[in-house]
Structure 1
């Protein structure tokens, strides 16, 4: 766990809660804000701490947080008294429209400083916002998300066609589980079993179509926890040890669900484990189809994660920025260094572009570009290759996975370090 630096208010600071008042209203508001950010915004430990401390400063108090991946200890001081409480929440990034609404809400509170009960009520309204897309549109988004990613796995029309079928099944399963939280916890396992059964038992791709894992992977990409893995590594590198360790374990559990699901399909269909070798088919797509596929991917991401359409231009721009920088860097200095440069550029661009009022938050701008770096898929390929007895190939993929995920995390950390923090400028004190 990592504690935020203590920032005591000055002796004449206005608490924002009335003369002689205690910290209760400010504490209640910040407690709700912390819970909301842990649950819906998908921010890492640094983002939660920055906003909570900043709004405490705005109201003339100060807040200190001790954060873990699914909880926090919050201490708020105002009016000469301190209150401390714990907050627990299960992280979820399925509704990024709430992350956008939260940033706009925080900017309004920062600029207008409404009474704290009014601010708390406003936060609850943000939390209960209806979904921006209907459930069927979210399912369509998962299909487009997977189909747009498919050419990055194998640039073939067969890959696109099979992905459309398999992703439609995954989308139907995902939409059905939306109102069943307990089922959602094992959704990656169920999706992997379904995809594995259909691929191995129905499609039965021949040697000329690439390995079965490559056929399955795009349809399961929605569940691959590449973002969690890199975020965990970045938090470990940045000193948030408990948060990073818990997030890393959770990401590995999700990855293992996919792995076990594939193996269940192998066992049920009687497929030899040696068939999991992931040899790729020769490309038959033009370069323009490959370029256009990322636009399809971005549209799918917007629908699947509920990103407001007004953020589409920013999201698309950063997806192609990441691709362009990574491609140029790989051509000039190799894959690892090129990925590092791409991750650094993405972190800098997302941070700077998200700062002006009214812009989408950093998480939303960053997520699309990050997905293009396809970290988690290497982990699944490594595990299945090892299970199939292809030890050297599996360990090569595993080493690539460890190298790339660390490279991306360090690149993101360097990018964040290149952009100076601005808590005091972003959240002026009440007396300023």
Structure 2
């Protein structure tokens, strides 16, 4: 029986690690709680892609090394939250094993074609918040469809690690050729960004900052390097596209274009955006209303306080409110896990896009604009992470399990 409990805890740890885009400190706490519910003393050393799990049942102590690639399958996170909650409440070992095997064996929640639709909604409905014009919106529908096909074709296959590079190259080539006129009006990078947002590692950058803030230095530094490398892949892909199409580096500029879409349209666009987010990352559609409400609320708070006190103030207030609201709501067993509640609102704060804009502007020979974007990037990334962490700590019950 102890061996079965030990094997179950190891597999639960692997499942939680695979969905640890929010930070490894959440994984450590959940695994220790589940172990205690089955009479096991568990301790962990957790990195973004690996954990060392020590399990002691009072007579035997074992150590397992678990490796997995972090991802964002929201349906699995929903099921993992429910399973962990019920195991902590005394779910039998046999039933927990049956439920876990079902979770691990389940196919994606939606068919491939619906996930492509999801990527189109995700990218196109994000576009108005970046450049509020019909040109940006309509162009992103086409570029998002291309990115959706690539996303579905690469996910779960051996070429998946190169999706940021290949996706940015394909989107860059289309932007600089087929949509060259629109790119000239809005700036090529700004036209590419919504379609590329699905591979921009903003969530990992933010999680890395949060891990560093709570003293998980090894995990935070490792995740920061990995996220930065993904961002570099995207930059290389855009640079290759500029060279392959003959447009050259000078084509990578930012243009200022007045918005033509009304504010209410931008706010309401977050609703289909959230539907696209759910379809893309396999979240249950029944959770869309609460996810959309948090996403729209975050954007409205950000927009309001940014007008009053600037972008940094807006980010702090909106991020802290989102972190607190998501933490409170996630306490209910009937509601989604905290990461699923946070992720839509997190995307509204556009972490990661400023880094891409800044570097490409520098490559294109625009040092002032590039430096401004990079400076904003260096401020916004930790600001979002600290704001979400502050909201989490504000309403959290009990002390956070920090390294001593």
User: In the alignment, what sits opposite 1:152?
Assistant: 129
Return the alpha-carbon distance in structure 1 between the equivalents of residues 215 and 377 of structure 2. Answer: 22
Which residue does 1:171 correspond to in 2? 148
SS state of the match for residue 137, structure 2? helix
Question: Within 2, Cα distance between the matches of 1:350 and 1:343?
Answer: 10
Q: Which among 54, 66, 87 is matched to residue 75 of structure 1?
A: 54
CA distance in 1, matches of 2:76, 2:399: 22
Q: How far did residue 47 of structure 1 move?
A: 1.2
Give the match for residue 391 of structure 2. Answer: 415
CA contact (8 A) 2:302 2:317 kept: yes
The aligned counterpart of 1:61 is 40
**Mean Cα displacement is larger for which, 71-80 or 152-161?**
71-80
Does the 8 A contact of 2:20 with 2:48 survive in 1? no
Cα deviation for residue 79 of structure 1 reads 3.0
Superposed CA deviations along residues 15-57 of structure 1, whole A, max 9, x for unmatched, are: xx5xxxxx53332111111111112454421111111011112
Q: Which residue of 2 aligns with 1:50?
A: 29
Instruction: Establish whether residue 28 from structure 1 lines up as the match of residue 28 from structure 2.
Output: no
Measured in 2, the distance between the counterparts of 1:343 and 1:220 equals 23
Pick the structure with greater CA Rg.
1
1:332 aligns with 2:308: yes
Which residue in 1 is equivalent to 2:270?
294
Shift of 1:208: 6.2
* Structure 1 alignment gaps of length 5 or more: 1-16, 18-22, 425-432
Task: Out of 26-35 and 359-368, give the one that drifted further.
Answer: 26-35
Pairs within 5 Å for 1:105-116: 105-115=83-93
Counterpart secondary structure, 1:223: coil
Distance 1:408 1:267 in 2: 34
**Uncovered stretches (5+) of structure 2, i.e. residues with no partner:** none
Q: Deviations over 1:339-384 (max 9, x none)?
A: 1111111111111100111210011101011011001110100010
2:342 aligned with 1:363, yes or no?
A: no
Q: TM-score, normalised by structure 2?
A: 0.95
Aligned counterpart in structure 2 of residue 265 of structure 1, from 232, 237, 241: 241
Whether 1:125 aligns to 2:130 is no
Query: 1:80-99 to 2 correspondence within 5 Å?
Result: 80-93=59-72, 95-99=73-77
Closer, same or farther: CA 219–382 of 1 in aligned 2, 3 Å: same
> Where does residue 103 of structure 1 map in the other structure?
81
Distance in 2 between the 1:422 and 1:26 partners? 27
Aligned to 1:310: 286
Q: CA deviation at 1:126?
A: 1.0
Counterpart position of 2:176: 200
1:134 aligns with 2:108: no
Query: Residue 213 of structure 2: which of 210, 220, 237 is its match?
Result: 237
Q: CA deviation at 1:174?
A: 1.5
1:41–1:98: 8 Å Cα contact kept in structure 2?
no
CA separation of 1:300 and 1:81: change in aligned 2, threshold 3 A? same
Q: Structure 1: how far apart are the matches of 2:90 and 2:393?
A: 30
The Cα offsets for residues 268-318 of structure 1, whole Å up to 9 and x where unpaired, read as 111132221111322111222212211121111111111101111110111
8 Å CA contact 1:41–1:102 kept in 2: the answer is no
Q: TM-score scaled by structure 1?
A: 0.89
CA contact (8 A) 1:150 1:159 kept: yes
Provide the C-alpha distance between the structure 2 equivalents of 1:177 and 1:258, rounded to a whole number of angstroms: 16
SS at match of 1:83: strand
Q: Is the 8 A contact 1:166 1:195 kept in 2?
A: yes
Partner of 1:246: 222
158-167 vs 415-424, which deviates more? 415-424
Q: Is the 8 A contact 1:50 1:423 kept in 2?
A: no
Match of 2:349 in 1: 373
- CA spacing shift, 1:207–1:54, aligned 2, 3 Å: closer
Aligned residue pairs total 400
- CA RMSD of the aligned region, Å? 1.7
- Contact 2:135–2:182, Cα closer than 8 Å, also in 1: no
Cα distance, 1:85–1:379 mapped onto 2, change above 3 Å? same
DSSP-derived class of the 2:89 partner: helix
Cα 1:329–1:27 change in 2 (3 A) is same
Q: Is the 8 A contact 2:359 2:374 kept in 1?
A: yes
